[in-house]
């Protein structure tokens, strides 16, 4: 049942909102927590072309008296989403109160202090985190240091029209953790640097950081520093991630051998279709501001797009089975691109069997709705953040019937990367995954 009725006053809404964040840190197993975020489906979006969280009621009211609200119900483990839409009446005397703070009022150092005052650390190796000119980490004994970085830019990697800030913070952290997983390592520490446009308030960045800190908590990551500055255009998020792994356990892209088995974790193609749903609803709204989005049946694909998870569980499975992959990569650019990366680095080829590519029932239903072949979504969509793993045939026997890993093909000695259709037809796969330097026209793939 929804926590709120379909119409309520702002004063009651704000009172209810404050109570949401008073829930205990560890609620009972069967108690769902609820997070409420304003979606983009309001006239405010048309005016500003930006998505903001609940703290922007004052700004929104200048454009419209109504705003849609997406109720996102998450379980304790933050792994299940339910989307419902409601309309909230914003006609209230409380609207005369300014409830958000310009960043200029705090300044850079005041903002940093506000964002980082409650940060916790999880690793003994963190001798000094935020608060000095540099963080101090203990030297790793018998371990190698893994380092990666990733940048997300508004208008290139995310659309603020339909991306909730808390989800954006969570996702920006997870995609970096996924890179450490791809090296067969464990992520431990990270740095966050932000380029912030004037249109974002203190409360907006707090919402972004709420997502970052939730990911840090879920994955035991110590946030040990970063930087903030102004941005003349869109929001820029740069995260540098640090991890660790035993030298003999580190897995590169370059170790695949002919006859190795290729496996993928989870299912593929959902994230791309989640993006198509969001783009469709945005286009509908731009034509008709009274349009009511219906997202209930798209729960799976929207979750994969807005809040992916890094597959640390797969890394644990491999370690428990004493399997060291010969090559591994996370599927961020699309299966076709990432198979190509492994093959190029290893100087080998591959055969992928279409019938073996794992695609969920939900993904197939949405692909039918868009009249898109789900295999194409899996091959070229990107942002699945699953793991593509190459292992020897001997190690494959240890996998047995593990449901988290699905064999999809094998490595060959030839340079070709071929897709074997159900009919037996062989198609040479071109690398057509995501590339931010290509034009949007060339990045559609479909």
pLDDT band at 432 (very low <50, low <70, confident <90, very high): low
Mean pLDDT (the chain, rounded): 76
H or E element, residue 85: strand 83-89
Q: What is the pLDDT of residue 118?
A: 72
Lowest mean pLDDT among 42-51, 140-149, 194-203, 407-416: 42-51
Of residues 29 and 130, more confidence is placed in: 130
Lowest mean pLDDT among 48-52, 187-191, 357-361: 48-52
Give the start-to-end residue ranges of the domains of the chain. 10-96, 103-249, 253-428
| Secondary structure of 271-294 in HEC code, one letter for each residue | HHHHHHHHHHHHHHHHHCCCCCCC
pLDDT higher than 90, residue 175? yes
Of residues 92 and 309, more confidence is placed in: 309
Pairing mode of beta strands 405-412, 349-353: antiparallel
The answer for 361, left when phi > 0, alpha when psi is -120 to 50, beta otherwise, is alpha
CATH topology of domain 253-428: Phosphoribosyl-aminoimidazole Synthetase; Chain A, domain 2 (3.90.650)
pLDDT band at 218 (very low <50, low <70, confident <90, very high): very high
Q: Give SS3 for 389.
A: strand
Q: What is the pLDDT of residue 108?
A: 64
pLDDT higher than 70, residue 268? yes
pLDDT higher than 50, residue 300? yes
Mean pLDDT of 93-118: 61
pLDDT higher than 60, residue 47? no
pLDDT higher than 90, residue 45? no
DSSP sequence for 366-404: HHHHHT--HHHHHHH-----EEEEEE-HHHHHHHTT-TT
Cα 275 to chain center, whole Å? 12
Residues 29 and 371: their CA atoms lie apart, in Å, by 40
CATH topology of domain 103-249: 60s Ribosomal Protein L30; Chain: A; (3.30.1330)
Q: Which two tokens stand for residue 147?
A: 């380092």
Q: What is the pLDDT of residue 104?
A: 66
Q: What is the pLDDT of residue 352?
A: 96
Residue 128 gets which letter from DSSP?
E
Q: What is the pLDDT of residue 264?
A: 98
What is the number of other CB atoms lying within 10 angstroms of the CB of residue 313?
13
Lowest mean pLDDT among 13-17, 120-124, 295-299, 421-425: 13-17
Q: What is the pLDDT of residue 212?
A: 94
CB 165 within 8 A of CB 208: yes
Angstrom CA distances, 189 to 135, 210, 213, 247, 313, stand at 10, 17, 12, 19, 18
Lowest mean pLDDT among 2-11, 19-28, 289-298, 357-366: 2-11
Of residues 204 and 140, more confidence is placed in: 204
Q: What is the pLDDT of residue 320?
A: 94
Mean pLDDT of 380-393: 96
pLDDT band at 26 (very low <50, low <70, confident <90, very high): very low
pLDDT higher than 50, residue 84? no
Q: Give SS3 for 2.
A: coil
CB 35 within 8 A of CB 21: no
Mean pLDDT of 67-91: 34
Lowest mean pLDDT among 96-100, 197-201, 262-266, 295-299: 96-100
Calculate helix-pair angle for 165-182, 312-320, nearest 10 degrees.
Answer: 30
Q: Which two tokens stand for residue 179?
A: 């890179």
How many H helices and E strands in the chain? 13, 16
pLDDT higher than 50, residue 279? yes
Q: Give SS3 for 424.
A: coil
* pLDDT tens profile 141-169: 889 999 999 999 999 999 988 899 999 99
Mean pLDDT of 248-259: 96
Mean pLDDT of 186-200: 93
Q: What is the pLDDT of residue 74?
A: 33
Instruction: Give the rounded percent of residues in the chain with a pLDDT score beyond 90.
Output: 51
pLDDT higher than 90, residue 67? no
- What residues does 128 pair with on adjacent strands? 136
Lowest mean pLDDT among 46-60, 261-275, 292-306: 46-60
Q: Where are the alpha helices (DSSP H) in 183-247?
A: 202-219
């Amino acid at each position: 049942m929804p926590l709120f009725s379909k119409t309520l006053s702002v004063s009651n809404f704000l009172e209810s909102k404050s109570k949401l964040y008073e829930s205990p840190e560890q609620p009972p197993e069967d108690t769902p927590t609820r997070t409420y975020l304003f979606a983009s489906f309001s006239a405010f979006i048309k005016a500003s072309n930006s998505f903001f969280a609940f703290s922007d009621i004052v700004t929104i009211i200048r454009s419209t008296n109504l705003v849609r609200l997406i109720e996102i119900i998450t379980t304790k483990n933050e792994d299940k989403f339910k989307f419902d839409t409601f309309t909230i009446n914003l006609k209230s005397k409380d609207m005369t109160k300014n409830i958000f703070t310009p960043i200029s009022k705090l300044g850079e150092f005041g903002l940093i202090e506000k964002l980082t005052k409650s940060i916790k650390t999880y690793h003994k190796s963190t001798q000094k985190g935020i608060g000095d000119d540099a963080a101090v980490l203990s030297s790793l004994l018998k371990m190698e240091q893994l380092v990666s970085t990733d940048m997300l830019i508004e208008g290139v990697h995310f659309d603020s029209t339909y991306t909730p800030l808390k989800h954006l913070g969570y996702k920006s952290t997870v995609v970096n953790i996924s890179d450490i997983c791809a090296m067969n390592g464990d992520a431990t520490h990270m740095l966050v640097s932000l380029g912030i446009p004037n249109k974002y308030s203190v409360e907006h960045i707090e919402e972004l950081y709420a997502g970052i800190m939730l990911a840090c908590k879920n994955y035991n990551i110590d946030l040990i520093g970063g930087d903030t500055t102004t941005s003349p255009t869109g929001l820029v998020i740069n995260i540098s991630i640090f991890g660790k792994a035993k030298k003999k356990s580190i897995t590169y892209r370059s170790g695949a051998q002919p006859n190795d088995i290729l496996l993928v974790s989870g299912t593929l193609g959902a994230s791309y279709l989640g993006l198509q749903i969001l783009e469709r609803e945005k286009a509908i709204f731009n034509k008709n501001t009274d349009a009511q989005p219906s997202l209930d049946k798209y729960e799976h694909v929207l979750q994969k797009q807005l809040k992916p998870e890094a597959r640390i569980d797969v890394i644990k499975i491999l370690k428990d089975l004493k399997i060291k992959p010969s090559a591994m990569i996370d599927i961020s650019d699309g299966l076709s691109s990432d198979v190509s990366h492994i093959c190029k680095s290893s100087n080998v080829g591959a055969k992928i069997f279409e019938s073996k590519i794992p695609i969920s029932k939900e993904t197939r239903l949405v692909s039918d709705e868009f009249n898109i072949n789900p295999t194409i979504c899996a091959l070229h969509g990107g942002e699945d953040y699953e793991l593509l793993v190459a292992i020897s045939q001997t190690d494959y026997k240890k996998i047995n019937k593990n449901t988290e890993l699905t064999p999809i093909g094998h490595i060959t000695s030839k340079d070709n990367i071929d897709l074997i259709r159900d009919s037996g037809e062989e198609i040479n796969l071109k690398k057509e995954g995501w590339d931010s330097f290509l034009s949007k026209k060339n990045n559609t793939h479909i």
